[in-house]
Each structure stands twice: as structure tokens, then as C-alpha cells.
Amino acid sequence: MKFLPLIWSGIWRKPGRTILIFLQVGVAFALFGVLQGLKTGVQHAVDAARADLLIVHSRLSLIMEGLPISLLGPIRSVPGVGVAIPVELFVCHYQKPEQGVLSVAVTSDKDWTTAFTFAIAPQDLDAFAKSRTAALVLEATAKKYGWKVGDRIPLICRTVQKNGSPNWTFEVVGTFTDSDFGGGGDKIIMSFPYYDEARATGRGTVNHINVSVTDPNLAVPVAEAIDRLSANSSHETKTESIRELAQQQVQQIGDFDFLIRAVVSAVLAALLFAIASMMVQSVHERTSELAVLKTIGFTDRAVFMLILAEALSVCILAGAFGLALATAALPIAARVVTGLSMPKITLAIGLGFAVLVALISAAVPALLAARLRVSTALAER
């Protein structure tokens, strides 16, 4: 403890230099934090995705090919199936083609929300079930366009109505939030029966069917049983949990892991060198001071530890500062990719790296300081 003032004065011997090093280490660890946060955060989000929510889709594609709605009955009678809800996704835009809004058409059967990742207030659910042209709006979307409950919003959709018009009007009855992996983007929920009746083509087909299972452990056998229903038919299905889908999405990102590792190594390599060279410089400048310390009884070992402690304090503080910056920045990135977070393990790994960088880069200068010979050092003056 008594060495603390000594370490402190060593750090602030040249305040300009220390602040620059501090910023450099901070910037490096902010980058480290953002990149690692992306990686671990995505893995985290995948693990958090529900394994008991199954999506039944065409074997040929996730959404491009439809399924006959007649599959719904047989699926509902598969043991272990909770609720099965037909879902149609179609792309609309609000006022301008750039302002895309995804429409999710669902039937509001009893407990239908258990087969989705949406969180909806009970009174909004009731209002939605009562009206055919009702729509629930994603909270972020409602905020973005200033839509309020009771508003009638006109959307232009790729699906045309029977009269040939691509214009659809919905009445906002409430809002919802979505915890789906990668579930960003503007979205509304509307009534499937209304949609199915009004659309010009494709009646009787759906994009996919959402199924909740009664027991999460049954997810795999239930999925297999559902796929057996349509085996060898012209509309074979593939049933997957949204966790599996999230996993595939992550695999698609593919080589990102390698990239992150390469960037992080480059950052740390540059950092090691910068700190080491600055510390060597600092030890050189302090030759006579260190010699005096040794004269009054400091051992070589104590001097070694002193230099190491200086590097450690700066690196750990700056590393913590950088990681804090990254943590503050991640919520902004999370707006684009839902589910990003900075798990504590990333922070721990980051601080671990900060310690490692400090130890490696300070080793040479600390050794120089420890090996300093008092007689020669003082004679130089």
C-alpha cells in the first residue's frame, strides 16, 4: 500500500504521455468490446431464442413457397401441439417505397400469442380480436410514424386486393413488442381471415404455420411428426424451432468470427508495441530517479514490480474505460440487430486482455529498470 503514491507519481510524471496512452488503450478496448459484444451477444441471443416455438414452412423455402391451409387440422391433432396458427407475411410500404412495413397476418385464436415472440397487452389483444380491419403496431414503428390508437393507416402492399388495388387500410388498436432474434424492422399484425378473404390470389395458402408445443422437451419429436404428415406430397414441410432458425442465421454470417479475431489481434499487437516503446522511453528518462530509489534500499525486484504496477494501473483503468464506452454504444447497435448485449464474460475477457497487454509490454522496460546499476546510472549525470 505504501507504494501507491510512488506508482501514482510515476504515472503522472509526464501527464500528456499518460493521457495519450490511456486514450489509445481505451480506444482499442472500446473496439474490442464492440466486436466481442457482437460475437458473444449474437450467441447469447441464439441461446435465448425459444426452442419450443416451431415454424412449419415449405421444405423448399422459408417464405417463398406457400403451404395449403388445409394442413392446419392434421397439425393441430398431432400430440404435443399446443396452438397452431397460420401466418402470412407480406411486404407493404407507408407513403414511400423506402418506408417498408412488414405485415404479419394471423388468426387470433385462443392463446395465439403463445406461438409468437410478441408481447401484447391484454386490452390490446381484445381490441384486435374484435375488429376485422384492426392492426397492432410494433411500438418502435408507431413511434417512428406517430401512429396512435384509433388512427386509420393506409399502406400500399405487394399483395393486391380482389378489386386490383394494392391499397390496404388498417385501424390501429394497440401496440406490441417483439423479442425475436433479428426482429428489427417495422412491423404490424393484422387479421388473417380478413386478409385471406380480401386478397386477389393465393387464397387458401399461407407462408408458414407457427406451432407452440406443450412440453419443450417434445419439440423435436413433434417437429418430426408434423413433417411426416406431408412426406412425399407435393408440399412437403420442414419444421424447425426458432432457435434452430436463429442458429442458421448465425452460420450464414459465417466467416465473421475469423474477421473479428484478425482485427482484435491487429489491435492488440499495435497496442503492445506502443505501450512497450513508451515505457522504455519513460524508464530511460527516469534513470537517475530509479538509481536513487535503489540507493535508498529498493531491491531490483521492487523496482521491477513498480514499473509493472504502473503499466497495469494504466491498462486496467483504460481498458475498463474502453469497455464501458463499448457497453454504452451497444444499445445503439442493438437497434439494428435485436438481442445484442454485453455479457459479463466479455467484460471479464476484456479486462483479462488488458492485464495481459500490460504484463507483456511492461516486461522489457521493467527488466531494464531492475537491471539498472546504481554506479553507472548515477555516474551518467
Partner 1 sequence: MNFLRQSTALLRLNLGGLAARSGAVLTILIGVTCAVGVLISMLAMGTGAHRQALGDVRDDVAVVVSRGSSDLDSSVSRDQATTVADLPGISLGSDGKPLIGYQSVVIMEGHRRGTGARVFFPLIGTSPSVTAMRPEIHFTEGRMFQPGLHELVASNPCVRTFTGFELGAERDVRGIGWSVVGHFDQGNSMQCQVLADVETLMTVFGRNAFTNVSVELKSPRDFDAFRAALEANPALNLEARRERDQVEGRFKGFKALLNFAAYFVGAIMAVGATLGAVNSLYSIVDARRRELATLRAIGFGSGAIVAATLVESMLLALPGALLGAALAWIFFHGMAVSPFGFSFQLDVTPQLAEIGIVWALAMGLAGGLLPALRAARVPVTTALRAT
Note the residues at the interface with partner 1 (CB under 8 A): 16-17, 20-21, 23-24, 27-28, 30-31, 35, 59-62, 64-65, 91, 97, 158, 232-234, 236, 238, 248, 251-256, 259, 262-263, 266-267, 269-271, 273-274, 277-278, 280-281
Q: Supply the minimum distance, in Å, between the C-beta of residue 134 and partner 1.
A: 26
Size of the chain in residues: 381
Q: Supply the minimum distance, in Å, between the C-beta of residue 252 and partner 1.
A: 5
Q: Supply the minimum distance, in Å, between the C-beta of residue 82 and partner 1.
A: 26
Pick 160 or 302: Cβ nearer partner 1: 160
57: number of Cβ within 10 Å:
24
Task: For residue 197, give every residue at least 6 positions away whose Cβ sits within 8 Å of its Cβ, in sequence order, or none.
Answer: 203
Q: Supply the minimum distance, in Å, between the C-beta of residue 318 and partner 1.
A: 11
Between strands 100-106 and 187-191, the pairing is parallel
Pick 14 or 76: Cβ nearer partner 1: 14
Pick 168 or 298: Cβ nearer partner 1: 168
Q: Supply the minimum distance, in Å, between the C-beta of residue 232 and partner 1.
A: 6
Pick 58 or 108: Cβ nearer partner 1: 58
Q: Supply the minimum distance, in Å, between the C-beta of residue 193 and partner 1.
A: 24
Pick 12 or 273: Cβ nearer partner 1: 273
Pick 128 or 195: Cβ nearer partner 1: 195
Pick 13 or 76: Cβ nearer partner 1: 13
Show the 3-state SS of 181-215: CCCCCCEEEEEHHHHHHHECCCCCEECEEEEEECC
Closest CA to 103 of 115, 89, 85: 89
Q: Supply the minimum distance, in Å, between the C-beta of residue 184 and partner 1.
A: 13
70: number of Cβ within 10 Å:
10
Which three cell numbers mark 218?
Answer: 417434445
